[in-house]
Amino acid sequence: MRILLETSDPDREKRYRSAAEKLGVQQFCSLHHDAQVLERLFRDPFETLIVDDAEHNACWLHMKDKPYCKSIILLFRNAESIDLLPESVTFGFYQDRQPIDVLRRIESFELSKRSMPDPETVISKRLQQTGVPMHMKGFCLLKESIRLLLAIDRPTQVRMMEDVYELLSDTMQLNASTAEHAMRHAIETAFLRADVHDLETMFGYTVSSDRAAPSNAGFLFLLADRIRSEYRRGNYDN
């Protein structure tokens, strides 16, 4: 495990370095300024970046859409900020939490990520849980669409007709209209078959028994976001 700590507090740096040595962290590096952190990560990406005093340190904002580090950990002065973490951040901790506890949590997280199944397996499993029949043409199209969304850095900028449907027409040799209708039929079939409790577990309260099935885009973005979150936090649940 390779960890980079950004902090201007010498005492906190010392305590984290000591904790890293106790846990046998492969490489631990500490820097004091945003510019140094960005330059170092650009030259030598680390697995984990820990940002101290996150309320007043915006260096991590430059990392959220870049492959400079796999995990971003924020340390806050105000514990209430932990409940307001942006999606790009892996964990948030109270600043005074013992460094050994923080590093052990990171270590456990990294180990859990290594045991995550491959994306194809996860996508298929989640689609089956929503009730989409595997034999339907729409199942394969939904699976491929989610795979495409997971591979895009900014999925919210994807336009369904122009991007996903056109990509499907190229890779699956179908025209965009056929792909759209096949996915629509699969989603509507799933919502007729599936248990409402299972759907709420999967999608939260964006679905219910008195609502129509979500649009193709809504279904795909919700499911892709769930899978992305599972991989980011290493908490895949069979």
Asked if residue 238 belongs to a domain, the reply is no
Q: Give the Cα separation of 37 and 138 in Å (integer).
A: 46
> Are 188 and 210 members of one domain?
yes
What are the distances in angstroms from CA 165 to CA 138, 144, 146, 236?
12, 10, 12, 28
Same domain as 128, residue 110: no
Model confidence at 66: pLDDT above 60 = no
The identity of residue 164, as a single letter, is V
**What is the extent of the structural domain holding 11?**
2-114
Q: Which of 28-37, 79-88, 121-130, 209-218 has the highest mean pLDDT?
A: 121-130
Same domain, 94 and 172: no
Same domain flag for 67 and 20: yes
Query: What CATH number should be reported for the domain holding residue 101?
Result: 3.40.50.2300
Report the candidate in 142, 118, 129 with the shortest Cα–Cα distance to residue 231: 118
Regarding whether 161 and 57 lie in a shared domain, the answer is no
Q: Do 107 and 208 share a domain, yes or no?
A: no
- What's the structural domain count of the chain? 2
Q: Is the domain of 12 the same as that of 93?
A: yes
User: Are residues 99 and 135 located together in one domain of the fold?
Assistant: no
Quick: pLDDT tens for 144-193. Answer: 888 888 776 555 556 666 778 877 777 778 888 888 899 999 999 988 87
Identify whether 96 is part of a domain: yes
CB neighbours of 212 closer than 8 A, spacing ≥ 6?
191
pLDDT one-digit tens code per residue, 110-145 = 766 666 677 788 889 889 888 899 999 999 999 988
Residue 131 forms part of a structural domain:
yes
Place of tokens 């397996």: 121
Q: What is the pLDDT of residue 192?
A: 83
Record the pTM.
Answer: 0.54
pLDDT at 37 over 90: no
Is the per-residue pLDDT at 232 higher than 70?
A: no
Residue 1, C-beta contacts closer than 8 angstroms, at least 6 positions apart: 25, 26, 27, 47, 48, 106, 107, 110
